[in-house]
Every structure is written in structure tokens, then in C-alpha cells.
Amino acid sequence: MPLQTPETRVTAPPAPKTLEDMQLPLVMMRDILLKTMFRKNVDMVSDVAEAICLPTQVTQELIDMAREQRLLEATGTLNANSGNEMGYQLTDAGKARALDALAQSEYFGAMPVPLHVYDQQIKRQSIRDIQITRTQLTDAMGHLILPDSLLDHLGPAVSAGRSILMYGPPGNGKSSISNGIRKAMGDKVYVPRAIEYAGQVITVYDPIVHSKAEAEVDDPNSLRRRRGFDRRYVRCDRPTVVTGGELTLDMLDLVYNPTARTYQAPLQLKAAGGIFIVDDLGRQQESPQALVNRWIVPLEEGRDILALQSGEKFETPFDTLVIFSTNFHPNEIFDQAALRRIFFKIKIDGPDQENFLKIFALVAKQRGMPLDEATLVHLLKRKYPSIDNVYANYQPVFLIDQMISICNFEGIPHQMSPELIDRAWANMFVKEEHIVK
């Protein structure tokens, strides 16, 4: 498969033309149809089709099958407001079947996509097929001042779509760089509302995780109207899942809802085609070693193994760029076997003095704070030598915001001075001292 740039349009999943194209059990589709009509109180074919996210002709085929089983009946009236469509309603037997089906699973609405069909779509939009150029990465990181040497390492890592470990002292933009990587991708993918495996429904689309793109609208004036994609999917930005100290191993497993009798996809499956960021690695309840051990197979083979309530295990695609971000040195939290599984290791250091001044000037401009040469000399010659001239990316923002707060409190125009820098500096570090209890 040829590499794609972020401008390349991902191939959309084709809409099914017949019930056979669905590749789902007929009984499952029929029951979801009945449950949806019962729960949503829809009776026109077009409304039912929208509710179960299928083309009208496939929906009609499903309705005809249910009519043959005497679970649905035509109302005998045409609705002028719905293009003279025939209405349908559940028979008594249909209502009884809908209630029985709801007792087995509360899921209704969009028809799920079979797992093996979704696997084909994952391959069409694989994150490993994206080619990020230096220009695209630089543009996405435009709000950050980074050394060229960092982009030299970061670019190939992102384009490879393999796991990345970013490490280094805190406050130097590891999280911002991770978000910039996501922005550099820029294209759209198709996320299934739900997938099906062994007759079980697993919901995937999550409005909290997935940013829905604008709906594609057919142009009625076009001589050849655009074919719509399979509406069981939602067109979204490439997803980004960010976790921190709250990440636990059970969050990487299927979540079973015993009331609804359905499953919710784990975080890494929701992140398919996108980025999974594990921030503050080493702060979780689980050890970093345990987290990487859980992902040995996914990271190496591009597939994950999940388990149903019954204990049955099955494979799902693992097409995710995993970014680990930590303030610890890798040798402190991983053994060599675990480090070998992480494809790229990139150290994120603090800026040198030249880049520090660029960041300071940029933040001052953004905040409307006039620069003062005497203050900068005081900062570089008196304050930073006291901490061995160790600069960090967060410090300009911290110091300038502190001075703005002091100016607001004192009722004076926003300005910087050696005195204000001293007051701001005192809030940036805590002195070691003995506290008498």
C-alpha cells in the first residue's frame, strides 16, 4: 500500500448494498431492527434507515424479512411528508420479540461492523502508511521553539508509526510535542460506532475521544452525486487518547456492562488509527515494566488480544502510535528487554540560552509584556547561575505570568524589572529548609 501524506484522502468504507454484504447474523440484524423501532418509535423506512445507519434499500430488505416472519406489518397508509413512504409497525409478536431481545442485550441503533470487516478498514487508514515531512511537522510545532536536531529524530519516528519513548527533565514540552504530532497528521479516519465479534457488540465511537468531522453532504446540483460511505462509521480526526497517572491495566481490557449486556472498547482500540499518549510514565499505580509487558505483542505484531466475559480470547488490530512520556531515565524504569520493544527513544532536553531567550521574547509578545534589557541581564547573570544555568521551556511562561500577577496586584502597568523577576523567581523554586513541627 502506498504511503499517504496528511493531504491524501483515506479510502472510505463502502456502504453495503445488500443484507449479504453486511456479513452479520440475520437474527442479530433483525433483533436490532425490532429493538430500534421499539425504543425510538420510528416507523418510516427512511427514519429506520437513519436510526440503524444503513442504506434505505438494505433497510427495506431487512423490514421485508421481518414482515415475512410476521414481526412487522405495514400500517396501510402513505405519509406525504416522507415522500409517500409506507409506514411499518411491530406486531404483537414483534413487540414480544423486541422485549426478549432487549432482555438479552440493550443494544439498539447503528448496526455493528463485523470485526474482520473493520480490520480491512484499519488497513486502508493505517497510521503506518502516513508520511510526515519536515515541513508538516515544523508547521504543527510552530508554537514551540525546538532545536533542529530534535526534529531529526522525531520525524522518522512519527512516519514509522512505531512506539516512541520521550524522556527528559520535566517542563520541557513533552506533552506539547505529543499533541503537535497529532496535529501534523491532519487527515480523517473512519471510526465504527460499534463492532461485532461472536454475536457480541462492542461500542467503539466515543464523543469524548473522537472529534467528529463535518458531515459530507451530497450536492443536489451535481450531475453525479457522490456516493456516501458506510454510515455505520463516523468520519473523525485521527483520534488522540491521553492518559496519565490514572492509567491502570484493566483500562486496557474490554469493559462489560452487565445491565446493557454490551462491551465498551478499551482505550487502545478507541485510539486505532491515531495516537495513544501515556503521559507521566512512572506515576501510575502499575509499574512501567508491567504496562510495557501488557503491550509486548501489540507493539511487535500490530495485534492485540482481548477477552469476553466467557473467557474466549480474540485478536483485534493494534494500529496505534504509542507515545510514552516520562521524567525518569529509561534505565530506571525499564529493563533492556522492555526497552527493546520501544522502537524510538528520544531525549527532550531543556533549551540552551539562545532558545530560552527566543521563548522568553515570544511569550512576552503574546502576553503584551514589554521586554527590558536590564531585567534580562539580571535574569541570566544573577538568577540562572544559582541553578547551574539549567533552563526549562516552562520557565518563561511561569516568570512572565508571575510578573503580570504582581503588576495587577500592585496596580501598575505590565512591566518587567529585576525586582519583579526576583519576586517571580521566589515562587518558581522552594528552598530546602527544616520545618519545626
107-123 pLDDT, tens digit per residue, is 999 999 999 999 999 99
Residue 433 scores a pLDDT above 60: no
In the prediction, which pLDDT does 83 show? Answer: 60
Average pLDDT, the chain: 88
147-196 pLDDT, tens digit per residue, is 778 888 888 888 888 889 999 888 787 777 877 887 787 788 999 999 99
Residue that wins the pLDDT comparison between 288 and 71? 71
In the prediction, which pLDDT does 222 show? Answer: 40
- pLDDT range class, residue 426, cuts 50, 70, 90: very high
Residue 7 scores a pLDDT above 70: no
In the prediction, which pLDDT does 224 show? Answer: 38
In the prediction, which pLDDT does 187 show? Answer: 81
- pLDDT range class, residue 200, cuts 50, 70, 90: very high
In the prediction, which pLDDT does 221 show? Answer: 43
- pLDDT range class, residue 296, cuts 50, 70, 90: confident
386-405 pLDDT, tens digit per residue, is 999 999 999 999 999 999 99
In the prediction, which pLDDT does 265 show? Answer: 97
Residue that wins the pLDDT comparison between 351 and 175? 351
Residue 213 scores a pLDDT above 90: no
In the prediction, which pLDDT does 293 show? Answer: 86
Q: Can you give the three-state secondary structure of the chain, one letter per residue? A: CCCECCCCCCCCCECCCCHHHHCCCHHHHHHHHHHHHHHHCCCEHHHHHHHHCCCHHHHHHHHHHHHHCCCEEEEEEEEHHHCCEEEEEECHHHHHHHHHHHHHCCCCCCCCEEHHHHHHHHHHCCHHHECCCHHHHHHHCCCCCCCHHHHHHHHHHHHHCCCEEEECCCCCCHHHHHHHHHHHHCCEEEEECEEEECCEEEECCCCCCCCECCCCCCCCCCCCCCCCECCCEEEEECCEEEECCCCCHHHHCCEEECCCCEEECCHHHHCCCCEEEECCCCCCCCCHHHHHHHCHHHHHHCEEEEECCCCCEEEEECCCEEEEEECCCHHHHCCHHHHHHCCEEEECCCCCHHHHHHHHHHHHHHHCCCCCHHHHHHHHHHHHHHHCCCCCCCHHHHHHHHHHHHHHHHCCCCCCCHHHHHHHHHHHCCCCCCCCC
Strongest mean pLDDT among 114-123, 242-251, 271-280: 114-123
In the prediction, which pLDDT does 436 show? Answer: 57
Residue 81 scores a pLDDT above 50: yes
